[in-house]
Amino acid sequence: MHLIPNRTSFVFVARSAVSVWVCLLGLTGMAAGESNWLAFRGDGGRGEASESTPPIDFDVPSGKNVAWKTPTTGRGIGGPVVVNDLVIVTGCDGEDQRDIHIEAFDRETGTRRWLRSLRSTGRPFTHPTSANASPTPVSDGERVFALFSSCDLICLDLQGRLLWARGLAIDHPKTGNDISMSSSPAIIDGVVCVQLANQGDSFASGIDATTGKTLWSIDIPRDSNWASPQPMVLGDGTPAFAMQDSAALSILKASTGEVLHRFDMNCDSTSSATFAPPLVIIPAAETTALRIDSTGVEVAWRNNRLRPQSCSPVVHGERVYMGKGSVLVSGNLGDGEVVWQQRLPGISKVWASPLYTASGIFVFDSGGQVVVVRDNGDNAEVIGEPKIGESILATPAVVGDSLYLRTDYAVIRIAQAN
Amino acid sequence: MGDWPRNALFCRLVLAAVLISSPHAHLAAQDRTSANNASDLALIRQVDKDAAGFESATAASLRLSGQPSAAAVDVLSAMKGASALAKNWLRTIAADVADNDSFPREQLLQFFADREQDSDARHAAFQMLIASDASLKGTLLEGAVDDPSLPVRHAAIELVLSKAAKLVEQNDAPRAIEVFRVVIAQGRNPEQLQSAVSSLEKLGQKVDLAEELGMVRRWWVIGTFENTGSASFDTVYEPESTYLANGKLPSHWLQMDAEVGKANSVSKSAISKLVTSEDAMGMVNINPAFGNAKDAIAYGYVELEIPEGVEAVARLGCITANKVWVNGKLALANEVYHSGTRIDQYLGDCVLMPGKNTVLVKICQNAQTEPWAQDWQFQFRLTDRLGTAIKPASILQPGL
């Protein structure tokens, strides 16, 4: 078992020989490169799969361009991860959503390969819109780490063998949020980071991926917060996590939890930060781009017109995209200026973050309507309005030319029919 | 990581094939396997909070993973008396073991049928069986409305609700009413009871849901006390100190508009109000008695006559910070404001005595101004450890 993921997809982005200090950021997908989607918003945490060309004219109710659709055990609103030949999701059901499930499906056929069911050891209650199975699992390519709103954290290998299971609410009985605890875990360099922000015992921990032991734990503000930590590697090679809360954006050393940088600001409590080296885009009432370099942290730009709503920013190339309900907004990554705004027909409430692909930018309404937008540079156009036809809150995965949807009660692979 | 545990299984199968020619040696090998499994299961049972015992348990998990599928029942059997965390390890390993070769359907059916087995382990067996063959669900849940496993019971009641709904669709109201009544009698989940009561009402049958749930609906409420900046969660005001010192509140405080202690250093005394809930779910609304006060604390007090002593569960639903004492002992403390609520939101163990029992609740309100942050209310009940409502023989009303 390797402690450190392979880094075949590691991308070093140099802004300049002097100032570039942050190099690529989401390392969760290091193990298997483009063939996998290992975390919330995928490799790099930017919600992009720029080489992928999923079809833009699918229709799930009629089966058009649906490779397979398989019901899941229970409901889930966390995204799928795609690891080698598996699509792995979480779910929950039973009284008060106390039964929690981790389920792996064959990527080609949709056949269930294994199912592991546990019981919540912490608070299972959530708002009806949310679910105990709300965080997206994360994988290092060899193992999967599934966190639930009940603060249960389970590590399985890809054959479904249990490596360890924590009940973090057993260790911290006052940790919980009855709206839900939806922050997704992140992993880098053999450390799993969980951000369990709430009004009770509010903390973040680094957990040894191999042993399940707590490497470090820090107190964080006692406020509700659903944003997810992001893995990153600093310019000197130090693995780190970026974490946002109501008081600050902090960059923590992965191995120790030491705060390497802190920028005081009131970050958004729902939308997560996105990394575009050397910038960190932080959703807030006034979205802020921070430049992190060897000298510290400084504000690159601020813009209150680029604020996303519920979902998280997507970055591709020199563009940043923000979903704002029925509107998709594009801005310049360099200065934060808005370039275009595109109204999205049939889109009203969005929880899933948009996805950038070579086919277009996919936006998912929670009711199952999808709109695909093409960025023409100084304007945009709607090029597709495919339908899922059922509730979807989870951010999908894109691998190759397939889109993997985790609807409330199913997993669906979208691929161009032969 | 390679496939060594699966390879280990292969080696064991080869070894078994060799040993089969010698019955004595085969039995000896089985004994060794059982002993090894027992040792590994003991390691799993030792896992504790803060990842204690994980290193050896992980190794044991991987060894057990290679066992023949028939060993899944042995893994489930080890759940008896184990901690909630260890049970999670064991149910995961059991499902893994069951995947190894032919699914151990008969052994799991037998295990599930035995109500003397650990109720969580039986629930895990149930989950494995229906994951393997969904058509088994109806058969397994037949007659399970009183199952000692709460999740199995919950699943059985779901089927009963579906059956009753179909009878309604078929315009068979008499039988539908009969089946919905089963839910009222056997259900332990408030949402299921609420569903049955709602359906019964549509059929012209009035059911007092709050009564069925055992909600305590009549309280002496004393307030308000200062909670500026939400800083007084742990401040011990006079009702609290008096209750903790004497185990009850003096009867002269339990009078309408009686003055009780000082709300803070400058204001007038707090006063008592008798608050009765008319809510279908027993929600006690504090706001009307105290003018929608903000940054405030109120105490609720009740005396309950219980026929028999019992280990019980205090169940509170409250969207703001709260504490609950039962018979002078703290049962609940939750410093959370306006972050979701529901019936049975917070659970705490307590002990009820035969005769008079006392309950004091402390309900805090903060200063949030959003429309959705104005509720100042609570709903409280007592149940046994299985969730069966404990209905007091009487609610004593000192002062009246």
CA distance B247 to chain A (A): 27
What DSSP character marks residue A172?
S
- The angle subtended at Cα A231 by Cα A226 and Cα A235, nearest 5°, is 140
E strand or H helix at B132: helix B119-132
Query: What DSSP assignment string belongs to A228-251?
Result: --EEEEETTS-EEEEEE-SSEEEE
Residue A296 CB coordination number (10 Å): 12
- Interface membership of B5 toward A (CB under 8 Å): yes
Which pLDDT belongs to residue B319? 96
Say if strands B346-352 and B259-262 run parallel, antiparallel, or are unpaired: unpaired
CA distance A347 to chain B (A): 26
Distance separating alpha carbons of residues A308 and A282, to the nearest angstrom: 10
Contacts 24+ apart (CB under 8 A), A316-320: A316/A46, A316/A48, A316/A50, A316/A356, A317/A50, A319/A375, A320/A274, A320/A276, A320/A281
Distance separating alpha carbons of residues A62 and A414, to the nearest angstrom: 12
Q: Residue B99: list chain A partners with CB under 8 A.
A: 114, 160
List, in sequence order, every residue forming a beta bridge with A155; answer none if it has no partner: A145, A164
- Per residue of chain B (400 residues), give pLDDT as tens: 334 444 444 444 444 444 444 545 555 556 557 889 999 999 999 999 999 999 999 999 999 999 999 999 999 999 999 999 999 999 999 999 999 999 999 999 999 999 999 999 999 999 999 999 999 999 999 999 999 999 999 999 999 999 999 999 999 999 999 999 999 999 999 999 999 999 999 999 999 999 999 999 999 999 999 999 999 999 999 999 999 999 999 988 998 888 887 766 556 689 999 999 999 999 999 999 999 999 999 999 999 999 899 999 999 999 999 999 999 999 999 999 999 899 999 999 999 999 999 999 999 999 999 999 999 999 999 999 889 999 987 776 665 5
CA distance A300 to chain B (A): 34
Distance separating alpha carbons of residues A177 and B397, to the nearest angstrom: 36
Which pLDDT belongs to residue B263? 66
Which pLDDT belongs to residue A114? 98
Nearest to B340 among A115, A125, A162 (CB): A125
Q: Say whether A119 and B334 touch across the interface (CB within 8 A).
A: no
The CA radius of gyration of chain B, in Å to the nearest whole number, is: 27
Distance separating alpha carbons of residues A397 and A36, to the nearest angstrom: 9
Q: Residue A127: list chain B partners with CB under 8 A.
A: 340
**Token representation of residue B303:** 């005396």
Distance separating alpha carbons of residues A102 and B64, to the nearest angstrom: 20
Q: Taking the model in full, what pTM does it have?
A: 0.89
Give B352 or A277, the one with higher predicted confidence: B352
Nearest to B120 among A119, A166, A224 (CB): A119
Say if strands B394-396 and B322-326 run parallel, antiparallel, or are unpaired: unpaired
pLDDT (mean) for A141-149: 98
Which pLDDT belongs to residue A7? 24
Count Cβ–Cβ pairs < 8 Å, chain A vs chain B.
127
**Token representation of residue B43:** 């390691």
Evaluate if residue A17 carries a pLDDT over 80: no
Residue A174 CB coordination number (10 Å): 16
Direct distance between the N- and C-terminal alpha carbons of chain B, in angstroms, rounded to an integer: 73
CA distance B325 to chain A (A): 18
Render the burial of B81-105: b for 16+ CB within 10 Å, e for the rest: ebbebbbbbbbbbbbbbbbbeebbe
Evaluate if residue A118 carries a pLDDT over 70: yes
CA distance B393 to chain A (A): 29
pLDDT (mean) for A256-264: 94
Alpha helices in A19-173 (DSSP H): 168-171
Which pLDDT belongs to residue B398? 64
pLDDT (mean) for A400-407: 97
Residue B154 CB coordination number (10 Å): 24
Does residue B296 contact residue B226 with C-beta atoms inside 8 Å?
yes
CA dihedral A206, A210, A211, A214 (to 10 degrees): 0
Nearest to A178 among B92, B96, B345 (CB): B345
Distance separating alpha carbons of residues A151 and A177, to the nearest angstrom: 10
Instruction: Indicate the residue type of B81.
Output: G
Query: What DSSP assignment string belongs to B200-257?
Result: HHHTT----HHHHHTB--EEEEEEEEE-GGG--TT---HHHHHHHHHSS--GGGSSTT
Q: Is B176 helix (H, G, I), strand (E, B) or coil?
A: helix
Distance separating alpha carbons of residues B369 and B188, to the nearest angstrom: 36
Nearest to A165 among B92, B340, B341 (CB): B92
Distance separating alpha carbons of residues B84 and A402, to the nearest angstrom: 39
Alpha helices in A104-248 (DSSP H): 168-171
Which pLDDT belongs to residue B260? 86
Give A11 or A231, the one with higher predicted confidence: A231
Q: Say whether A178 and B151 touch across the interface (CB within 8 A).
A: no
What DSSP character marks residue A339?
E
Backbone angles phi, psi at B230, to 5 degrees: 55, 35
Distance separating alpha carbons of residues B314 and A332, to the nearest angstrom: 56
Does residue A171 contact residue B49 with C-beta atoms inside 8 Å?
yes
Evaluate if residue A4 carries a pLDDT over 50: no
Which pLDDT belongs to residue A34? 60
Which pLDDT belongs to residue A235? 80
Q: Is B57 helix (H, G, I), strand (E, B) or coil?
A: helix
Does residue A32 contact residue A141 with C-beta atoms inside 8 Å?
yes
Give residue A388's pLDDT band: very low, low, confident or very high (50, 70, 90): very high
Q: Say whether A94 and B189 touch across the interface (CB within 8 A).
A: no
Q: Say whether A119 and B88 touch across the interface (CB within 8 A).
A: yes
Of A79, A99, A75, A74, which Cα lies nearest the Cα of A89?
A79
Q: Say whether A161 and B58 touch across the interface (CB within 8 A).
A: no
Give residue A230's pLDDT band: very low, low, confident or very high (50, 70, 90): very high
Residue A411 φ/ψ region, left for φ over 0, alpha for ψ in the -120 to 50 degree band, beta for the rest: beta
pLDDT (mean) for A51-58: 96
Q: How far is CA A152 from the centre of its chain?
A: 18
- Interface membership of A3 toward B (CB under 8 Å): no
- State the average pLDDT for chain A: 90
- Interface membership of B1 toward A (CB under 8 Å): yes
ipTM of the complex: 0.91
Backbone angles phi, psi at B270, to 5 degrees: -75, 160
What DSSP character marks residue A180?
-
Backbone angles phi, psi at B137, to 5 degrees: -55, -50
Q: Is A299 helix (H, G, I), strand (E, B) or coil?
A: strand
Evaluate if residue A14 carries a pLDDT over 70: no
List, in sequence order, every residue forming a beta bridge with B226; answer none if it has no partner: B296
Q: Say whether A214 and B51 touch across the interface (CB within 8 A).
A: yes
Which pLDDT belongs to residue B399? 54
Q: Residue B91: list chain A partners with CB under 8 A.
A: 117-119
Task: Please report the residues numbered 238 through 297 in chain B whose beta carbons come closer than 8 angstroms to any beta carbon of chain A.
Answer: none
Nearest to B89 among A99, A162, A170 (CB): A162
Q: Say whether B340 and A114 touch across the interface (CB within 8 A).
A: no
Does residue A294 contact residue A21 with C-beta atoms inside 8 Å?
yes
Q: Say whether B62 and A117 touch across the interface (CB within 8 A).
A: no
Backbone angles phi, psi at A315, to 5 degrees: -125, 135
Nearest to A161 among B57, B61, B91 (CB): B61
The number of residues making up chain B comes to 400
Share above pLDDT 90 across residues of chain A, in percent, rounded to a whole number: 84
Which pLDDT belongs to residue A169? 97
pLDDT in tens, A31-50: 334 689 999 999 789 999 99
pLDDT in tens, A75-108: 999 999 999 999 999 999 999 999 999 999 999 9
Of B141, B241, B194, B54, which Cα lies nearest the Cα of A153?
B54
Share above pLDDT 70 across residues of chain A, in percent, rounded to a whole number: 92
Distance separating alpha carbons of residues A5 and B321, to the nearest angstrom: 44
